Amino acid sequence: MAAAGGDKLPVEVCKGFSGLDRVVLREARGSSAEVYLYGGHVTSWKNDHGEELLFVSSKAAFKPPKPIRGGIPICFPQFASHGGLESHGFARNRVWSIESDPPPFPTNSASKAHVDLILKPTEEDLKIWPHSFEFRLRVALGPGGDLLLTSRVRNTSTDGKPFSFTFAYHTYFAVSDISEVRVEGLETHDYLDNLQSKERFTEQGDAITFESEIDKIYLSTPTKIAILDHEKKRTFVVRKDGLPDAVVWNPWDKRAKAIADLGDEEYKHMLCVEAAAVEKPITLKPGEEWKGRLELSAVPSSYCSGQLDPQKVLQSS
Ligand code: TA6
């Protein structure tokens, strides 16, 4: 509920599309974010000018069991598809709960604009992935409008057995025109090319630019990646922790046409750069917890290309 006098609360729970529960986060300077309990899915992140920074398809269904096309789908307990589990796992099409009193975070954010979500497996989930877990997700807006996602997965099994999983924050960034975008920070790194039977290659020395379909898993990447949007004069800075890999995906024209919940031309205005743990699955023994953190900032492109120093980036913003 909104506060009396028109003041907006930092955290508001309301209904979104298809009557699904949605949490709106607002930071004092005007930035905002929206999270659907369906999927624990961030569907909006706006800067303090009200500009949308994430891409969500105009054809996104917002109808369970289909995952939402765009925003930040959570891929868990697997990235892509292996074995019997559905592609990108089931976390993105389960209804998460709000947790009012989660176990303390070692590095707690002071922001009031945050929400804590939790996902636990149902009896049905345990039939397809027989492991007890608690997945806690905190979504927070930093004072400068940064979007912070912290995932904590705990093995709560009592059978003494470890489990392994892969993971991705499948982030869809909104870009003005994909042909005008470059990604810095992944050059010279090895990648598995999904378009070439996952063969391993090494990226050349130049920043990545886009002129056709791309679906690559960059391995053991740096913790900072920059996405420069020349037309918008905006740079996204991705900082990640506990997530060694980075997936870069754009379906381009032909594949976009084959994706029912993506407009034919919408590929031009999206780019997925996904902080991930794919190559080496994470294994947790009973009682163990894993943490994976994503921090997104959007800064004016006075950002100095080629210098992935977040302090400089922030100072110049
Ligand atoms: O992250 C890249 C990817 O795994 C691609 O291979 C592509 O299929 C994409 O994700 C979208 O997957 P989805 O299941 O959401 O249609």
Of the candidates 44, 3, 50, 7, the residue with the CA atom closest to the CA atom of residue 23: 44
Q: Are 53 and 236 in contact (CB under 8 A)?
A: yes
Q: Is 274 a catalytic residue?
A: yes
Q: What is the pLDDT of residue 272?
A: 98
- The rounded Å distance from CA 71 to ligand 1 centre is 13
Q: pLDDT category, 303, cuts 50, 70, 90?
A: low
Q: Which amino acid is it at 224?
A: K
Residues 235-271 have pLDDT tens digits of 999 999 999 999 999 999 999 999 999 999 999 999 9
Q: pLDDT category, 84, cuts 50, 70, 90?
A: confident
- The rounded Å distance from CA 80 to ligand 1 centre is 7
- The rounded Å distance from CA 69 to ligand 1 centre is 10
Q: Is 131 a catalytic residue?
A: no
Q: pLDDT category, 170, cuts 50, 70, 90?
A: very high
Number of H helices, E strands in the chain: 3, 21
The mean pLDDT of 21-45, rounded to a whole number, is 97
Residues 106-162 have pLDDT tens digits of 665 567 899 999 999 999 999 999 999 999 999 999 989 999 999 999 999 999 999
Of the candidates 34, 35, 241, 16, the residue with the CA atom closest to the CA atom of residue 119: 35
Handedness of CA 100, 104, 109, 110 (dihedral sign): positive
Percent of the chain residues topping a pLDDT of 90: 84
Q: What is the pLDDT of residue 2?
A: 44
This prediction has a pTM of 0.93
Ligand 1 binding pocket includes 249 (Cβ within 6 Å): yes
Ligand 1 binding pocket includes 41 (Cβ within 6 Å): no
Residue nearest to atom 14 of ligand 1 (CA): 87
Ligand 1 binding pocket includes 119 (Cβ within 6 Å): no
- The rounded Å distance from CA 264 to ligand 1 centre is 16
Among candidate residues 88, 170, 266, 295, the one labeled active-site is 170
Q: What is the pLDDT of residue 253?
A: 97
Residues 187-225 have pLDDT tens digits of 999 999 999 999 999 999 889 999 999 999 999 999 999
Q: Are 7 and 25 in contact (CB under 8 A)?
A: no
Residue 316 has pLDDT above 50, yes or no: no
Q: pLDDT category, 307, cuts 50, 70, 90?
A: low
- CATH code 2.40.50.100 for 16-302: no
Q: What is the pLDDT of residue 82?
A: 78
Strand residue runs (E) in 186-313: 190-193, 199-202, 208-209, 214-218, 224-229, 234-241, 245-250, 270-284, 289-300
Q: What is the pLDDT of residue 106?
A: 64
Site to probe by mutation for ligand 1, drawn from 56, 87, 252, 274 as the one with most ligand atoms within 8 Å of Cβ, is 87
The mean pLDDT of 4-29, rounded to a whole number, is 88
Q: What is the pLDDT of residue 5?
A: 39
Q: pLDDT category, 4, cuts 50, 70, 90?
A: very low
HSE (side-chain half, CA atoms, 13 Å) at 225: 31
DSSP state of 83: T
Ligand 1 binding pocket includes 194 (Cβ within 6 Å): yes
54: phi then psi, degrees, rounded to nearest 5: -110, 150
